[in-house]
Amino acid sequence: MITSMTGFGRCQGAWLETMVTIEVRSVNHRFLETSIRLPKSMGVLEEVFKKMIQQHCTRGRVDVTVSLQGSRGSVRTPQLDAHLAKQYHQALRTLQRTLKLKGSIDIGLIAGFRDIITLSDQPADDPKLLKFVERLGAKAVLAMATMRKKEGGLIAQDILDRVQSVRNSHIVISNRAPAVGRETFERMKLRVEKLLGDSIPDLPRLHQELALYADRCDITEELVRLDAHMVQFSQAVPSNEPVGKTLDFLLQEMGREVNTIGSKANDSAITAEVVRMKAELERVREQVQNVE
């Protein structure tokens, strides 16, 4: 069954005195895009989380947030970027020589640059903690994927019901279509006879032209193609493969056929059904935008 691109998963667990919370959110996107927000010392888990997500998702924007809380609030420790501090010091010395400035470059000045000393959101890099976060993350990702599948089932049922409504209108139009050509022929014939009276120069030629005009109102081909698209659409919905783009394409083709039927038929009864079909297809299109 089709899968939604919207989902949410959250898992929380304690490791020693540290409370770990992982949230995974998924929303619509044309392709698969991931955003992993981890404490700096857990950067090695970024690729691990991406692979987890790729096992369950092929489309959508997925955001993962990992936060740590200690027994007294956030667990934070200072981190020194010594290499960056040396670069700042060298840049300041160059500036001093260039501008011939006086004064000393001391620790107070260097420490004023905020990116040299930063606070880490977690305690020391512990392999056991990393493994714990990885296991907790797998549960959160699975919870998100489960929600996507559940919502996908509800979307599938809704769009199949709406496609059935379109099919019902298709049946009404198919039953009405044969009479449209005959009525168009007779209607135009009466108009011409009313205008010309008994002075019609070539009656067989008139009937031929009227028949050609009535033939332009024939919508048999459009009805056949619309039915074929609906069959393909209904067959694609139960698929376990990602079919969002396929469904979107079929909807475009169905909409094109419905528009052509409405413009060619020139019949009030058919026009009413075309309006109903357009409304249903628009609702289906809104739902398909959320399908993987």
Does 243 share its domain with 177? yes
Does 192 share its domain with 268? yes
- What pLDDT, on the 0 to 100 scale, is given for residue 212? 57
- What pLDDT, on the 0 to 100 scale, is given for residue 42? 85
Does 29 share its domain with 48? yes
Domain residues for 159?
A: 151-288
Into how many domains does the chain fold?
A: 3
Q: Per residue in 59-106, pLDDT tens?
A: 999 999 998 886 444 455 677 888 888 888 888 888 888 888 888 888
Residue 56 lies in a domain: yes
> What are the φ and ψ backbone dihedral angles of 35, each rounded to 5 degrees?
-135, 115
Q: Could you tell me the sign of the dihedral formed by the alpha carbons of 179, 184, 189, 191, in that order? A: positive
| Over residues 227-242, mean pLDDT | 90
**Can you give the C-alpha Rg of the chain in angstroms?**
34
What's the rounded Cα separation, in Å, for the pair 74 and 164?
55
* pLDDT bucket at 119, cuts 50 / 70 / 90: low
pLDDT at 197 over 70: no
* pLDDT bucket at 210, cuts 50 / 70 / 90: low
CATH number for the domain harbouring residue 19: 3.30.230
Residue 1 lies in a domain: no
Tokens in use for 208? 């031929």
Does 86 share its domain with 194? no
pLDDT at 9 over 90: yes
User: Would you call 25 helix, strand, or coil by DSSP?
Assistant: strand
Beta-ladder partners of 115: none
Residue 84 lies in a domain: yes
Residue 2 lies in a domain: no
CATH number for the domain harbouring residue 282: 1.20.120
Residue 170 lies in a domain: yes
**CA nearest neighbour of 180 among 264, 69, 86, 68:** 264
Does 51 share its domain with 71? yes
| Total-model pTM | 0.67
